[in-house]
Amino acid sequence: MATIGELLGGAVERLRASASESPRLDAELLLAHALGIDRTALIAHPEQRVGPEPAARFAESLRRREAGEPVAYIRGLKEFHGVAFAVDARALIPRPETEVLVDLALGEVGDRLARAARPAGTPPLAIADVGTGSGSIAVALAVALRRRGMLAEVEIIGSDVSEDAVDLARENAVAHAVADHVAVAVADVLPPPGRVAGLLVVPARFDVVCANLPYIPSRVVPGLPVAASFEPAGALDGGPDGLDLIRRLLDVLPERLAPGGVALMEIGSDQGGALHAAVAEQLAGWDARVEPDLAGRPRVAVVTPPAVVTPPAAARPAS
């Protein structure tokens, strides 16, 4: 029987030859998965011998990775914002750069909940996750709000045009015990008001709209790394300039975003100028700025409606 160290050494060479961008990490994750142990334990015991069954599982996983299949699909899970998500070919694999969108949404939700007293009977804060995919944004947001004792004050509606993705998102919401505050519906952009989704009812307007819609230009999609070819094409292709679906979301914001609300949309690092132009064309008077991701690249567009100005009260006549 080969040791962990011996199996890793051979696997790293094979994955490097197959053009893996992270051969050592890939090999460690796949072997740890085959053994059913944590990657830290794997690294700590390179001398441990590996039995025939886990060795066979590792060999099959290695074969799939050499063919380009993403490690997340092989393992069936992906860590995102401190939460482990079930992932498969029904939806896009959550990316680390999207975590900043969750952080921004947390800040917006926390600010709104802390801004004023919320006596009994106050409607919950309505949050949308457009293009929810695996449900990573909606569920990660709900889990983080639960840790802060805020989950009871919000309702999150995820939507996706793909029925398969919606099924996966529901599975993740149930797995993390947030399905009473996170519902998912099949919809093109946003589901109509009044539709029943899970245990919730879709509101007319949302206080916070999150969206990680396809934003890769069509001409770029064929040249993406091989791993991307295993993901749903519809979750990647954003049309000629990558902003087709984002423009469609901008179109519905005047009707579906609450006064004082905010829309947070992930974009490509080179799409800031085009996003500003789209907002100027479609949403006259609205404000837009772009926040960077953890690598410092422009990543999340923050779009807000014009401030509501309350007219001054009429002067009272002198007595």
pLDDT (tens digit per residue) in 119-164 = 888 899 999 999 999 999 999 999 999 999 999 999 999 999 999 9
The pLDDT of 240-263, averaged and rounded, is: 97
State the average pLDDT for the chain: 94
Banded model confidence at residue 307, pLDDT cuts 50, 70, 90: confident
Lowest-pLDDT range of 52-61, 239-248, 277-286, 300-309: 300-309
Please check the confidence at residue 314 and state whether its pLDDT lies above 60: no
Please check the confidence at residue 74 and state whether its pLDDT lies above 60: yes
DSSP H or E run through 156: strand 154-160
pLDDT (tens digit per residue) in 275-297 = 999 999 999 999 999 999 989 99
List the one residue out of 295, 224, 303 whose CA is nearest residue 260: 303
Cβ(242)–Cβ(217) below 8 Å: yes
**Rounded Cα–Cα distance for residues 275 and 303 (Å):** 10
Evaluate if pTM is beyond 0.85. Answer: yes
The full length of the chain comes to: 319
Q: Domain residue spans in the chain?
A: 4-67, 88-304
Which of helix, strand or coil describes residue 146? helix
Class of domain 88-304: alpha beta
Please check the confidence at residue 316 and state whether its pLDDT lies above 70: no
List the one residue out of 54, 51, 37 whose CA is nearest residue 1: 51
**Rounded Cα–Cα distance for residues 168 and 161 (Å):** 13
Q: What does the angle CA 85 – CA 82 – CA 11 come to, to the nearest 5 degrees?
A: 70
Banded model confidence at residue 311, pLDDT cuts 50, 70, 90: low
- What pLDDT does 285 receive? 95
- List, in sequence order, every beta strand (DSSP E) within 30-124: 77-80, 83-86
- What pLDDT does 121 receive? 83
- What pLDDT does 115 receive? 85
Please check the confidence at residue 179 and state whether its pLDDT lies above 60: yes
The pLDDT of 199-211, averaged and rounded, is: 97
Please check the confidence at residue 310 and state whether its pLDDT lies above 70: no
Cβ(195)–Cβ(221) below 8 Å: no
pLDDT (tens digit per residue) in 103-123 = 999 999 999 998 878 888 889
In one-letter notation, the amino acid at residue 281 is E
pLDDT (tens digit per residue) in 40-52 = 999 999 999 999 9
